[in-house]
A and B are shown apart, each in its own frame.
Chain A
């Protein structure tokens, strides 16, 4: 019985590890500006698919890891992740009903929220500024969602992650 009820929970963590690696990949400067928020997107997929397993607690942990990886002040990415996850948990049932492009739009808005929080909190102690270009990853993340959603759904079904 126990064997049958394996949930294959290692699968989401592997996808998250890959997302972490993608987010830390060294890039050309102009690519960096539009580099999507991989960790956020992959995590949001798993929240929508398995809300009973992935919630605000994990969002907090992953956000802290992102802070460590990117060298931002501890808690900045964590707060942004927690806020985005909270919004998704409030509406994941509706999100499941949406078409993929509608989801992509929501993801785009969530990335805007995420970027605003991290950018502003980082801006408190810094003097870099560049208009609204910091929001560029949002539409790109939205577009990418169309592809990422299909891939992650395929992975989830193939490994029967529950």
Chain B
């Protein structure tokens, strides 16, 4: 069979459930979960083979949201790709923008003014707060804690999105970073608003944790479920909170020291079990660290220009060469790989999406668990299909 032929995993005549016979397990049931399933957080499908309620095989099917983002990037100018990056991980436009800006800055050898670096850190950490709070809400919803935690989480997230809107003009599709700086400057009123939000966020986290973290049902549903071991995670390229939950202290903010992160004191929370509960807790702890970074950045932000005077946005033609720029996004390592041939469009434009690579171990995490647990495990990976499928 040629590798291009249809695989045996193709949907069999549109059937969503069919019985299959396995020499070892006997009668099994193959269930097609998704693409339209509330737990998949978008259009994502898992072909799950079940022995009773236990998962014996799980194959993810991707690509329902594929629009060949990378091809679009090759036919667009360097600046023109910036708003497209918002649509990758549409919860974190600010960090996507930053990763792309970083790659282009390395490609063109551009500098970034001090104030813009501070604004980037403030926006990236705000983005991390709203991403993690969303994830906590969705994960709890997936475990069956219907409504309340998600609504609490979304109430806080909305406050951050309003700040994004007042600065960039858009709640989610921010299109804010530019190579060589930022698009608009933040007023002192805006910084004051951020300050009051950040100072109140710790109290919200306390309230949220009081509500749910010690909950017995949550612990029963998540502890010991989907355990990932450190060496397997490193080999599979898992990054972000997923990796740190299994005890590997790798944070690109510390390792690469990009931007001005070395100036801030913050800790990198590390889990010890690598299960779903640890993945939840890591996010809560990371939010607490982000509050600290934000308070330091808001205290120290200097006045000054927000764009490098030498940066040329329109008609930007970097010299031939290539660059790879990566940052610690809320979901993991978001990287951009660019090859320039000296023209106004990149010759090659590649996105290294964290949630796509983090899905590599989905089957390993789910094997042996019940189908209901697969929903919780998928929820703890924190995928956004706009980025997985590109």
Q: Decide if A and B are genuine partners.
A: no
List residues of chain B with CB under 8 Å of any chain A CB. Answer: none
